[in-house]
């Protein structure tokens, strides 16, 4: 049976952009920018995205499309009789860990969507809104039910396959998501007092830039672009061999960056207009925004729109994580797609329950001083993603034949590649070295 693949270039771009655009852009980017000094952080972040992010993403695409399989199978095809295929194990581990805690936050989003529809934030004091969040996340089973609900939605899409599931639904959700985020960005920027937030986001104050914020910017760029753990590699194996990888990657990166900036524009000015601390952390979206919406004209509608946006963004990213496990099980273990999806979702959801309970009954259960939620987050984003990124660059830069890399990148000579030498230089030397520095720093070695 022929391997399932994307139907069109547009579909491939939507699916890949769907993977990239997620909680990382809307939930993580504004508070990372808020806690790391605003404009100066943004500049470093943009540098990381364009100079390291794009080349590493292309390297991942090259392996995936050339290998025509899941990460495990692709490495085994491209480097037979070597241990490179172990990367496949790393990618499954990363997908499982990330999706376990991603599902927790996505589950909260579903509950908050219901709150927004029920107008629950109306006329609530900030203490009450805070309380609402605390009470919900620490509830013994409610967040688990939402978490399970979220995983069921993702599983249903994945069961339908690449074309009929992933491509079809991301093609529907991504344009709506873009429209909502543009509307929210414009709305927030036109609020009284929003200038302070716009200035904070764009005005680079280099005195605020620390070494730590440079590292945070590189880490954020990896997480946001979904680089390093095989999700892009798996999707790339479904891209038609005629489509230009360079074109697709630039579009995905531009879409991802635009959404992050729009999310920053939607959230930071509003946060300033209503005098909320931009560095209030991961809870910014759930605790401060409901207050912001409540005080905005037509806030009811904006609140609903925002949580729809967040839900779509989470679903389109989560399915790319789930697909990594499903592609492995169907191709390497010859399982049916249905069985593979049920098995992967079940394991991930069970692990995820520990993350969800990290905010409630298991708040005090820690491993290496961290709750399950924090542990899964830090192992995957601080360790596995950068490590995976280095492996990918080294493989394409040093192990693959330059001729093969060129062949794949130019789609069998169909496209001219003017910047091939520079790109190879980055993939071979610059990107792995830069990522290595981040990795060592996050391990506390530098």
Instruction: Pick between residue 22 and residue 67 the one whose CB is nearest to ligand PHE.
Output: 22
Instruction: Pick between residue 22 and residue 264 the one whose CB is nearest to ligand PHE.
Output: 22
**Quick check: 158 binds ligand PHE (CB under 6 A)?**
no
**Quick check: 223 binds ligand PHE (CB under 6 A)?**
yes
Provide the minimum distance between the beta carbon of 23 and ligand PHE in the complex, in angstroms, as a whole number. Answer: 4
Provide the minimum distance between the beta carbon of 227 and ligand PHE in the complex, in angstroms, as a whole number. Answer: 7
User: Of 221, 317, 349, 441, which lies in the binding site for ligand PHE, with binding defined by CB under 6 A?
Assistant: 317
**Quick check: 64 binds ligand PHE (CB under 6 A)?**
no
Instruction: Pick between residue 17 and residue 129 the one whose CB is nearest to ligand PHE.
Output: 17
Binding to ligand PHE by CB under 6 A, coded x per residue (else -) over 14-33, reads -----xx-xxxx--------
Provide the minimum distance between the beta carbon of 73 and ligand PHE in the complex, in angstroms, as a whole number. Answer: 19
Number of residues that bind ligand PHE (CB under 6 A): 15
Structural tokens at position 242: 């005629």
47 burial type by CB count under 10 A (0-12 exposed, 13-18 middle, 19+ buried): middle
User: Of 155, 224, 234, 249, which lies in the binding site for ligand PHE, with binding defined by CB under 6 A?
Assistant: 224
**Quick check: 355 binds ligand PHE (CB under 6 A)?**
no
Question: Candidates 164-172, 222-230, 236-244, 274-282 — which segment interacts with ligand PHE by CB under 6 A?
Answer: 222-230
In angstroms, the CA 278 to CA 288 distance is: 9
**Quick check: 411 binds ligand PHE (CB under 6 A)?**
no
**Quick check: 56 binds ligand PHE (CB under 6 A)?**
no
Cα→Cα distances 117→111, 309, 330, Å:
10, 14, 39
Provide the minimum distance between the beta carbon of 317 and ligand PHE in the complex, in angstroms, as a whole number. Answer: 4
**Quick check: 226 binds ligand PHE (CB under 6 A)?**
yes
Instruction: Pick between residue 132 and residue 252 the one whose CB is nearest to ligand PHE.
Output: 252
Binding site for ligand PHE (CB under 6 A): 19-20, 22-25, 98, 223-224, 226, 229, 231, 317, 320-321
């Amino acid at each position: 049976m022929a391997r399932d693949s994307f139907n069109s270039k547009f579909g491939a771009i939507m699916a890949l952009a769907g993977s990239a655009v997620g909680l990382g852009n809307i939930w993580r980017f504004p508070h990372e920018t808020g806690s790391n000094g605003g404009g100066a952080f943004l500049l470093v972040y943009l540098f990381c995205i364009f100079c390291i992010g794009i080349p590493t993403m292309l390297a991942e695409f090259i392996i995936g499309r050339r290998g025509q399989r899941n990460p495990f199978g692709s490495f085994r095809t491209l480097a037979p009789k070597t241990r490179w295929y172990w990367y496949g194990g790393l990618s499954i581990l990363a997908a499982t860990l990330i999706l376990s805690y991603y599902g927790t936050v996505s589950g909260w989003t579903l509950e908050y969507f219901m709150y927004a529809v029920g107008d629950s934030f109306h006329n609530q004091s900030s203490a009450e809104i805070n309380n609402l969040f605390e009470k919900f996340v620490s509830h013994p089973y409610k967040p688990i039910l939402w978490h399970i609900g979220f995983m069921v939605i993702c599983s249903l899409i994945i069961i339908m396959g690449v074309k009929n599931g992933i491509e079809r639904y991301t093609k529907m959700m991504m344009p709506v998501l873009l429209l909502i985020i543009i509307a929210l960005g414009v709305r927030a920027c036109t609020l009284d007092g929003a200038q302070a937030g716009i200035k904070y986001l764009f005005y680079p104050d280099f005195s605020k830039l620390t070494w730590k914020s440079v590292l945070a910017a590189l880490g954020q760029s990896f997480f946001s672009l979904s680089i390093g753990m095989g999700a892009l590699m798996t999707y790339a194996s479904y891209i038609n061999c005629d489509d230009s990888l360079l074109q697709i990657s630039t579009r995905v990166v531009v879409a991802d960056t635009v959404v992050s900036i729009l999310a920053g524009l939607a959230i930071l000015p509003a946060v300033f207009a209503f005098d909320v601390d931009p560095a209030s952390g991961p809870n910014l979206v759930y605790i401060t925004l409901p207050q912001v919406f409540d005080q905005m004209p037509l806030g009811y509608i904006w609140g609903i729109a925002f949580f729809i946006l967040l839900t779509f963004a989470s679903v389109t990213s989560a399915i790319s994580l789930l697909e990594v496990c499903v592609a492995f099980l169907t191709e390497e273990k010859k399982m049916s797609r249905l069985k593979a999806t049920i098995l992967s979702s079940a394991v991930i959801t069970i692990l995820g329950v520990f993350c969800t309970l990290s905010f409630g009954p298991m708040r005090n259960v820690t491993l290496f001083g961290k709750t399950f939620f924090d542990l899964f987050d830090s192992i995957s984003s601080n360790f596995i993603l950068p490590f995976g990124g280095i492996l990918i660059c080294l493989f394409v830069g040093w192990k693959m034949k330059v001729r093969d890399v060129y062949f794949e990148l130019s789609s069998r000579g169909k496209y001219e590649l003017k910047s091939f030498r520079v790109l190879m230089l980055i993939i071979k030397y610059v990107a792995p070295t830069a990522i290595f520095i981040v990795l060592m720093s996050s391990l506390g070695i530098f």
